[in-house]
Amino acid sequence: MLSLGGGVGSYSLASKEDAKNVATYLWNNILGGSSTSRPLGDAVLDGIDFDIEFGSTLYWDDLARYLKSYDGTGRKVYLTSAPQCPFPDSFLESALNTGLFDYVWVQFFNNPSCQYTSGDTGNINNSWTRWTTSINAGKIFLGLPAAPEAAGSGFIPPKVLVAEIIPMIKKSPKYGGVMLWSKYWDDQAAGAEPAC
């Protein structure tokens, strides 16, 4: 997967035509198309991850539709997304409403209104239920920081995660698993209680 966006800088799509041009570029240079200037050489990635956290909220739905239109070319194009846990995500709402995303890794951290907070599982449980009953996606993942230092807030101690959170979220047929941000932070916490 190639992730678009992230938490640094500003980025946007200028129009529906711009979204189409970006999709064509990604198909030919990153995914299953062909180009003489593929930045990853012969490597063919499986899809595109939308981690849109800044810029405009417009045309991400168009980009998703254009990318998915390449599904009929003999190669599946996977679409994933990493929205923030406040529902609906302010940048990705229209894209997620297309129903085209295979996997959604919801970031349940750095947002106290919908994350785990010091022994209180209510916010995260309520938010998980909202996401899994409101978004038409293949599978939804619980995105968490791998260590307390990996995010400003939202770290769940492993014992709480295993005993309280995972049994609750696994009840949803859309449960896909747990996504941890990131291995680097887990490695830095060596000697402490492991994330999983």
- Cα 97 to chain centroid distance, Å, stands at 14
In whole angstroms, what is the distance from residue 10 CA to residue 107 CA? 20
Given the residues 17, 53, 93, 193, select the one marked as catalytic. Answer: 53
Rounded to 5°, angle at Cα 117 from 189 and 110: 70
Q: What share of the chain is helix, strand, coil (3-state, %, to 5)?
A: 35, 20, 45
- Within 10 Å of residue 105's Cβ, how many Cβ atoms? 23
Told to judge if 53 belongs to the known catalytic residues of this protein, a careful annotator would answer yes
Q: Which residues are marked as active site?
A: 53
